[in-house]
Amino acid sequence: MIAGDGIGKEVIPQAIKVMQAAGARVDLTLLDWGADRYLADKVTVPADGFGRLARDFDAILVGAFGDPRVPSNIHAREILLGMRCQMDLYANVRPVRLLHASLCPLKNVDPNDVDFVVIRENTEGVYGDLGGVFKKGTEDEVAIQEDVNTRKGVERILRYAFEYCAGTRKLDGSPRRRVLMCDKSNAMTHAGGLWQRMFKAVAAEYPQIETQHMYVDALCMQMVRDPRGFDVIVTNNMFGDIITDLAAGIQGGLGMAASGNLHPGKTSMFEPVHGSAPPIAGKNIANPLGAILTSAMMLGQLEMIGEARKIETAVLEAVGQKKTTVDIGGSLGTSETGEWVANRVLRL
């Protein structure tokens, strides 16, 4: 467990409380990586930190990183991008579920209408910090940000999406049927061309799964116009970053969204989608349900399915009974919400 910064320090203790109430058989180790440690000793990641995570742990639960006292955010970048890239956690999996109609800002959307997943490539794209600045500070300044797309990287994330589609079911028990690939291949022809070719090649191996393609701009519009019908969406790092926040809006805001960073067979990392939210940190008002749902996702991955289901059921009830924080219509604090969910889990 790495609570990290800001509201990470408030929501992760709630997730721990709830996992313990669910009877999850996990040995917890708390690591103090984050801004406080960086400010104290200038260490972002201890020596062999990622090696230790990969060797000694089955899963990592993370809060959030980002602190105004570290304007460069170097610790956040080194810890988060380091985990994703050095541990090669190439698949960012973001379930998008609407737990209650009142949470959705769109009209006439029923919880049954929103149950899809976004699978985001997590190690390539424009986030590799490749590029440079030429003639910095002059009128002729040029900034170049490279978009890296490897055949290996594109193929494996597409394959992950098809495997996910073939191997998982929706909340109502019905099978998943369709993989939608989202890109901008009309404008970004080189990278888009690779994604298009690999999508056709991988899809041919899964004839039972329907395929669909949308440009990212059209997909954003459709997600707001009518989110029904999305099933599995696979996309690159940047588009995935953007559409998962849009999707979080549909499911009740950033406080409700869970995610996993996975590489089958390796130690995976799970984190709520939100950041450290400095303006609300330390006030006991942050919504802990995203972190709690993230812990359920982690337990599911660790094959503690019953424990995970109990947590999801209790969260559903908390939302239905408005035993939540104010951002989604309740009146409880962060720790009181965690307490309510933990007590409910104990009785399930």
Task: Please tell me which residue in 17, 184, 310, 323 is annotated as part of the active site.
Answer: 184
By CB under 6 A, residue 33 contacts ligand NAD: no
Residue 164 a catalytic site member? no
> Which residues, including other chains, have CB under 8 Å from residue 4's CB and lie 6 or more apart?
12, 33, 34, 35, 62, 63, 64, 65, 79, 276
Residue 186 Cβ, how far from ligand NAD at the closest point, in Å? 29
Instruction: Give the number of other CB atoms < 10 A from CB of residue 338.
Output: 26
Residue 200 a catalytic site member? no
The DSSP letter of residue 125 is B
Tokens of 259: 């995610």
By CB under 6 A, residue 281 contacts ligand NAD: no
By CB under 6 A, residue 313 contacts ligand NAD: no
Task: Please tell me which residue in 58, 217, 266, 322 is annotated as part of the active site.
Answer: 217
For ligand NAD, the closer of residues 158 and 332 by Cβ is 332
Instruction: Give the number of other CB atoms < 10 A from CB of residue 302.
Output: 17
By CB under 6 A, residue 80 contacts ligand NAD: yes
Most distant CA pair in the chain: distance in Å?
66
Q: Tell me which of 128, 192, 275, 333 binds ligand NAD, using CB under 6 A.
A: 275
Contact stretch for ligand NAD (CB under 6 A) within 62-70, 81-89, 174-182, 194-202? 62-70
Residue 226 Cβ, how far from ligand NAD at the closest point, in Å? 25
Residue 5 a catalytic site member? no
By CB under 6 A, residue 330 contacts ligand NAD: no
Helix, strand or coil, per DSSP, at residue 13? helix
Amino acid identity for residue 68 in this structure: P
Task: Please tell me which residue in 5, 9, 115, 127 is annotated as part of the active site.
Answer: 127
Q: Strands (DSSP E) along 206-250, which ranges?
A: 210-215, 232-235
* 3-state secondary structure string across 98-121: CCCHHHCCCCCCCHHHCEEEEEEE
For ligand NAD, the closer of residues 157 and 258 by Cβ is 258
Instruction: Give the number of other CB atoms < 10 A from CB of residue 150.
Output: 11
Residue 251 Cβ, how far from ligand NAD at the closest point, in Å? 13
| Interface ranges with ligand NAD (CB under 6 A) | 7, 64-66, 73, 76, 80, 254-255, 271, 274-280, 286-287, 290, 327
Q: Which residues are catalytic?
A: 127, 184, 217, 241, 245
